[in-house]
Amino acid sequence: MKTLLPVLLLALSTALGAATELARAAQPQLAVNAKGTVWVAFGRGPEIHVARSDDGGATFATPVTVASLPSLMLGRRRGPRIVAHGEILTATAMAGDLHAFRSADGGRTWKGPFRVNDTVRSAREGLNGLTVAPDGRVFATWLDLRGERTQLFGAESADGGQTWSANRLIYRAPSGQTICECCHPSVAFNARGDLRVMWRNALEGARDMWSAERPAGAEEFGPARKLGEGSWMLKACPMDGGVLFPAADGFGTVWQRAGRVFHARPGLGERELGPGTQPVATTVGGSTITVWQNGKELWTKHVETDGPGTLLTPEGRFPSLVSLQGSSGALVAYERGDGIMIESVGLR
C-alpha cells in the first residue's frame, strides 16, 4: 500500500493547497515526465533518496534509497540530480567522482553506481548538471580538475546512465585562467534536441555567466559567449551558478550578479528581476516562472510581469523548480530547517 509522507498546510498566497515536508533531507532536485509523474531526489547523510508522486506533487510515496555513498557531497548545489524519460530515471551524485544510477521502473529499483568521469577523481569539486533529450539521451556536465585548472567537461548516455561516452572538453578558459571554481554548471536540451550548457567564468577577474550550444545533430559545441550586458569583478567565488532552461524557441537563463537576479535569453539583453541569489526558472504555458532566495526568504515572479515579485515563504534556500503538465503552474522544492518542502507555485 502506498504510504504518504507527512503533509503540512501553509498559508501562502502563491501556493496551492498543501505542501509536502520531508524531514532530515537536503538539496532537493525535481524531475517530471511527459505524463506528469513527478520525482524528487535528495540527500540524507550519506544516502541518496528518490520519492515519486502520481498526483502532480500533491502527495509523495515513501522515498526509495538509491544508494549510500560514504563521501556523498551535499550543500551549495552539490546534491543529487535526477531526470526522467517515461519510467526510465537517471540520477547522479558526487562522491569524489561523478556517479550515475539508473531505474527502469519509475524509481522503485535502482542499478549503479556507474562512474561518469573517465579520469579518476577529476570531478571531485562536486558540481554538476544533468539533462535528458526528447529521445531519452542523457547528458551530464561537471567542473573538472584534470589538468592545471578548472575546466568544463561533459559525457552522454544512450541507456539511461548505465554506460557513458568518452568525456569531452566543453570549455577551457584561455591560458593561465580558469572558469569559476565553485559555481555549479547548468545544462538543458530543448524540444528540438539542441543542447546548451551554462557556467560562470572567471576571465580577468570577471565572474560572468557564459554559455555554448550544440545544435541538434551536431557533434561539437559552438563558440562560448557571455550572457547579459554587465560584468561582475569579484575576487571570490559566489557559489551560485543560476539555471539554464528550455524555452519555446530556444533557451532562457536566470542568474545573479552582485546580489541582483537577472533573466536573459542567449544572444539577447538582460532583465533585472530583483535582489537575490540562487535563482531557478521554468517555462509554463508560454510564461517563465522564477524562484530565488533573498536572505532567508524565497521569492517568485513571472518574468513577463512588472513589479518586484511575490514572497513565497519567509524561510527557504536552494530551490528546484519544474513545470506541471497540463496546468499553468509549477512545483518547487527547497530546503527549510533540516528538511525540504515541496509545493505548487505560480498559478494565476
pLDDT at residue 13, as a whole number: 27
pLDDT at residue 43, as a whole number: 98
283-298: average pLDDT? 95
72-93: average pLDDT? 97
* Predicted confidence (pLDDT) per residue in 97-151, tens digit: 999 999 999 999 999 999 999 999 999 999 999 999 999 999 999 999 998 899 9
Cell numbers placing 182: 565553485
Phi, psi dihedral angles at 99 (to 5 degrees)? -105, 140
185-191: average pLDDT? 97
Please state which of the four CATH numbers 3.40.720.10, 3.40.50.670, 2.120.10.10, 3.40.50.970 is assigned to the domain occupying 7-345. 2.120.10.10
Q: Name the residue ranges covered by the structural domains of the chain.
A: 7-345
Torsion of CA 134, 139, 140, 141, to 10 degrees: -110
Phi, psi dihedral angles at 73 (to 5 degrees)? -90, 125
pLDDT at residue 5, as a whole number: 38
pLDDT at residue 68, as a whole number: 98
Compute the distance between CA of residue 159 and CA of residue 157 in angstroms, rounded to an integer: 6
* Predicted confidence (pLDDT) per residue in 34-52, tens digit: 999 999 999 999 999 999 9
Instruction: Tell whether the model's pLDDT for residue 14 goes beyond 60.
Output: no
Cell numbers placing 105: 521502473
CB distance 118 to 166 below 8 Å: yes
pLDDT at residue 348, as a whole number: 53
| Burial (CB count within 10 angstroms: exposed 0-12, middle 13-18, buried 19+), residue 264 | buried
User: Comparing C-alpha atoms, which of 24, 18, 25 is closest to residue 4?
Assistant: 18
Instruction: Tell whether the model's pLDDT for residue 16 goes beyond 50.
Output: no
Share of the chain above pLDDT 70, in %: 94
pLDDT at residue 140, as a whole number: 98
pLDDT at residue 74, as a whole number: 96
pTM metric for this prediction = 0.94
Instruction: Tell whether the model's pLDDT for residue 82 goes beyond 60.
Output: yes
**CA distances (Å), 251 to each of 81, 115, 244, 341, in order?**
20, 29, 7, 27
pLDDT at residue 248, as a whole number: 80
CB distance 112 to 101 below 8 Å: yes
* Predicted confidence (pLDDT) per residue in 202-261, tens digit: 999 999 999 999 999 999 999 999 999 999 999 999 999 999 999 988 999 999 999 999
Count Cβ neighbours within 10 Å for each residue of 68-106 and write b for 16 or more, e otherwise.
ebeebbbebbbbbbbbbbeebbbbbbbbbbbbbbbbbeb
Q: Is 181 left (phi over 0), alpha (psi -120 to 50) or beta?
A: alpha
CB distance 332 to 321 below 8 Å: yes
Q: Which residues are within 8 A (CB) of 214 and not within 5 positions of it... i.e. 6 or more apart? A: 194, 195, 196, 220, 221, 222
Compute the distance between CA of residue 151 and CA of residue 121 in angstroms, rounded to an integer: 14
pLDDT at residue 347, as a whole number: 62
Task: Tell me the average pLDDT of the chain.
Answer: 93
Compute the distance between CA of residue 178 and CA of residue 171 in angstroms, rounded to an integer: 10
pLDDT at residue 286, as a whole number: 85
pLDDT at residue 235, as a whole number: 95
